[in-house]
Amino acid sequence: MSESASVGTLLPLPTALDPDHAAYSVTGYRLQADRDVAETFELVVTRGSADDEAEPLSVQLVLRRPLDRETQDRYSLRVYASDGDARGASNSGSVDVHINVADVNDNRPRFEGEGRYEVTVPENLPLHTTILTVHADDDDDGPNGQVCE
């Protein structure tokens, strides 16, 4: 998922399959994740037709806050699907979900020393003498973080 994804972006997840019929089939989903992940993603469960209990549930994650790859580049969570019946018997299955945050070029290069340099150059310095070398870093990843000469 791109770190530039907008809040509200939906990420479809695979639906659980249960060969049981109707009420004995999948009746709900729940998210298990640490606090930071739960504050970033929310589980949204919908049914194609709200009136038709035979219609299967679908499950998606919705992005609740902006992503920043430089702060966190991966999220891991587990989604549980459960079934049940009126007697309270229930079975569940789970899937582990790993979300890698893809970098965008959202950071500027930064020079050492706050970008201010002063040098004194003697007037008799030979031609082509290096008088100053500067260095810059960029927090972005891969080609986005490369600082050109």
pLDDT by 10s per residue, the chain, length 149: 999 999 999 999 998 888 877 767 888 899 999 999 999 999 999 987 666 666 778 899 999 999 999 999 999 999 999 887 656 667 888 999 999 999 999 989 888 877 688 899 999 999 999 999 888 889 998 888 888 86
Domain shared by 22 and 95, yes or no? yes
Domain shared by 52 and 92, yes or no? yes
CA distances from 66 to 2, 8, 33, 36, 76 (A): 10, 9, 18, 12, 16
Domain shared by 76 and 24, yes or no? yes
Torsion-angle region of 7 (φ positive above 0: left; ψ -120 to 50: alpha; else: beta): beta
Evaluate whether residue 25 is within a structural domain: yes
Domain shared by 15 and 53, yes or no? yes
Domain shared by 55 and 28, yes or no? yes
CA distances from 114 to 24, 42, 70, 121 (A): 64, 40, 21, 21
pLDDT at position 88 is 63
3-state secondary structure of 65: coil
pTM above 0.85?
no
pLDDT at position 94 is 92
The sign of the torsion formed by the CA atoms of 71, 97, 65, 103 equals positive
Domain shared by 87 and 122, yes or no? no
Query: In which residue are the tokens 């004995």 written?
Result: 24
Give the CATH number, domain containing residue 74.
2.60.40.60
Name the residue range of residue 53's domain: 10-100
Number of domains in the chain: 2
